Amino acid sequence: MKSKIEEIKEKLKIAADRKDLVEWYTRSEDSFCAGIVEALDQEGTILKELDGQGRWCGYCFFRLGAIRNVETATDYLKKLKCYLGYWEDLGLFQSGASKREPSFDSGRNTLIDLLTGQCQEKHIITVGYYEEENLDTGYVLALTDRLLSLKTVDVSSGGFLEVIRKPLEDISMIEFDSIDNILLEFANRKLFSNK
């Protein structure tokens, strides 16, 4: 008998191979993402995410253990696919987030590669945790095989906050190259680059 994680991974692999839209649920039925699976490894998966209007809005990584359910071919996904077609017909297919599309290597550790890339490129990410409701947003300062150091940024003002350190095993999700983070990064650099 397959475990829940194995079932989820199998659904995600099939969707990735077919380039099908998926929606996955995390904490509750109200907490979900929709998009296309870009990468999948033993530990987690990366989704190229669509917003509720069918526009590409960034990427998110989720550990497989944080995903409660995966759905494909739902009425909601059919609607999003229709919306996506609308934007393509208008020539507005690509969002600002897709201009820095990352590459993924399925033979490597997706989480470590993702965090290393975001650190090297000096981009803002948002991090979620298994045991905490709060999210942290900021720049990756340092990374070891066990620990993430993040220079946090206030999402309200764009200003810098404190440096936090979190064990990698506590991380359940990472949002990166999203429209929200790209805009926050722009504001942070414009308003606080000399501080």
- 77: domain CATH number? 2.30.30.100
Same domain, 80 and 121: no
pLDDT class of 105 with cuts at 50, 70, 90: low
Same domain, 53 and 121: no
Distances (CA, A) of 60 to 50, 119, 173: 11, 16, 7
Residue 17 domain boundaries: 4-96
Rounded Cα distance between 103 and 137, Å, is: 22
pLDDT class of 194 with cuts at 50, 70, 90: low
What pLDDT, in 10s, does the model give residues 16-46?
Answer: 999 999 999 987 777 899 999 999 998 999 9
pTM beyond 0.85: yes
What is 20-50 written as a DSSP string?
A: -EEEEESSSTT-EEEEEEEEE-SSEEEEEEE
Out of 96, 126, 151, a domain closes at: 96
Same domain, 11 and 91: yes
Bridge partners for 63 per DSSP: 44
Name residue 75's amino acid: D
Contacts of 115-119 with C-beta under 8 Å, sequence gap 24+, read 115/140, 115/143, 115/148, 115/174, 116/143, 118/176, 119/143
Rounded Cα distance between 39 and 12, Å, is: 9
Out of 64, 96, 128, a domain closes at: 96
DSSP 178: -
Q: Report yes or no on 59 lying in a domain.
A: yes
Same domain, 75 and 126: no
Say if residue 102's pLDDT is above 70.
Answer: no
Q: Report yes or no on 105 lying in a domain.
A: no
Instruction: Supply the pLDDT for residue 93.
Output: 59
Instruction: Supply the pLDDT for residue 28.
Output: 72
- The strand order across the sheet containing 69-72 reads 69-72, 21-25, 32-40, 44-50, 56-63, 171-176, 124-129, 136-143, 147-153, 160-167
DSSP 168: G
Q: How many domains does the chain have?
A: 2
Instruction: Supply the pLDDT for residue 109.
Output: 75
Q: Report yes or no on 101 lying in a domain.
A: no
Same domain, 90 and 10: yes
Averaged pLDDT, 84-106 = 67
Name residue 123's amino acid: H
Closest CA to 26 of 101, 129, 125: 129
